[in-house]
């Protein structure tokens, strides 16, 4: 096995092992500098962070490029944030988004 076979995506982008933490529904989640919230959640084994309107079906990242809206989460009290596009910051509070993300029914 050559060196190229051992290259990881983190190696390719020059990511460091330095981590910081944010919370997801009260659970501590590690993230690397520059990592999206969706990527950090996936790495932690969390695959869903939104529930659909009506049926409350779980959703997480689908397209990974901000086009589909399946990865919406509430970040620091702001609903409807695309977790695949939002960089995880130290101390962020991320919660499962329920329905349309607003406190009052529409």
Rounded Cα gap, residues 10 and 8, in angstroms? 5
Domains of the chain: total: 1
Q: What is the predicted pLDDT for the residue at 3?
A: 55
Rounded Cα gap, residues 22 and 74, in angstroms? 13
Query: Do 82 and 58 touch, CB atoms closer than 8 A?
Result: no
Q: What is the predicted pLDDT for the residue at 74?
A: 95
In a domain, 60, yes or no: yes
Angle at 103 between CA 97 and CA 106, to 5 degrees: 100
In a domain, 67, yes or no: yes
Residue 8 has pLDDT above 80, yes or no: no
pLDDT in tens, 25-84: 999 999 999 999 999 999 999 998 988 888 888 888 888 788 888 889 999 999 999 999
Domain around 64:
17-98
In a domain, 103, yes or no: no
Residue 16 has pLDDT above 80, yes or no: no
């Amino acid at each position: 096995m050559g060196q190229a076979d051992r290259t990881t995506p983190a190696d390719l982008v020059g990511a460091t092992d330095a981590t910081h933490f944010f919370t997801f529904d009260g659970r501590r989640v590690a993230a690397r500098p520059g990592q999206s919230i969706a990527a950090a959640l996936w790495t932690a084994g969390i695959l869903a962070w939104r529930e659909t309107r009506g049926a409350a079906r779980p959703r997480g990242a689908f397209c990974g490029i901000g086009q589909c809206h399946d990865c919406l989460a509430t970040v620091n009290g702001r609903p409807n944030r695309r977790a695949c596009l939002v960089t995880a910051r130290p101390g962020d509070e991320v919660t499962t988004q329920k329905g349309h993300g607003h406190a009052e029914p529409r």
